[in-house]
Structure 1
Amino acid sequence: MRAIRVVTAALLGVGALAVTAPTAQAHGDNSGFWATVLPTTIAPGGQVRLRATGCEQSVTVSSGVFDTVTIPRGRTTATATVDRDAKPGAVYEVSFYCGTFWQTVDLTIAGGRPERPHLPQHGVRAGAGGSLAGLDLKEIGLGAVLVTAVLGTTYSLSGRRTDADQDGA
């Protein structure tokens, strides 16, 4: 009977870890696939070099600031011409697709400043910082409740038997 309790407790513990472990996004699952854009800041009408490594097939590269480009299988680079009407100071996302995996890189358009003349200049604006940036407090709370519940259940199921339980066995 004790073996069943131990196995049940172990399975609950493993299940809790599986449920509460952070999930990997599709674009982070392929650690061998890397993408870069050079230069990372470019003037409107300029050419950028697109580089993708670690993909065994053709890579499709798209962005709102240039036409879609394909890096053929067996090659690692291609070039793209930035639209001449790209807004100076804007940051565009460049997406590299390797089958079901993708990565994104930011491309900044040179020659401009954000249009905020009425706002006073301030120092650096710090965010939440570290690993807390972008986390949802509801998800953290729910995860803490789930972990606490599973640990409590595991403890109660794997606890030592009382004298009364041992006499009846």
Structure 2
Amino acid sequence: MRAIRVASAALLTATALTLTAPPVSAAVAGEENITSFGFRVTPSAIAAGGQVTLSVDGCEHNARVTSGVFDDVTLPKGQKTATAKVFWDAKPGAMYEVTFTCGPESGTTDLTIVGGQSNPTHHPTPHHTRGVKAGVGGSSDGFDAHQIALGGALIAGVLGTAYYWTRRRTGQDGS
């Protein structure tokens, strides 16, 4: 009888660990960002009004960098870095998409705006914006098979454990 309990506990533990393990590939179809050239924004999180460094590696064309949080920047062929000043009215906590284009290829990365401004007395000037890269929130993002399976396994585990302990106690009471 003890062996059955140990085997059941081991099986339940192995199942829970398997379902909660991160997937081997975190990339979602259509969201791959592979280019023949390298690119980055440094730092990746900055306050409104701050300055970022835009870098490209291996681009054999003029590189163009666009975002809704700073003016467009062009890096001539052979130039690897440039700077851009983040707009003063960038929303703290927002994530903006930065697009690097080299010839026919494009790649994107994110730039997060952290709280506070470098110069709070500055009055923002009008500029052309492309908008914020905002998510859909946690409640309407769609269904993820791993989350559904994990939730189902947890519910089944709780119900199975409750049933086991309920049946075990009624058997001991002699009822």
Instruction: Give the structure-1-normalised TM-score.
Output: 0.50
Which gives a bigger RCO, structure 1 or 2 (Cα 8 Å, sep 6+)? 1
- What TM-score, normalized to structure 2? 0.48
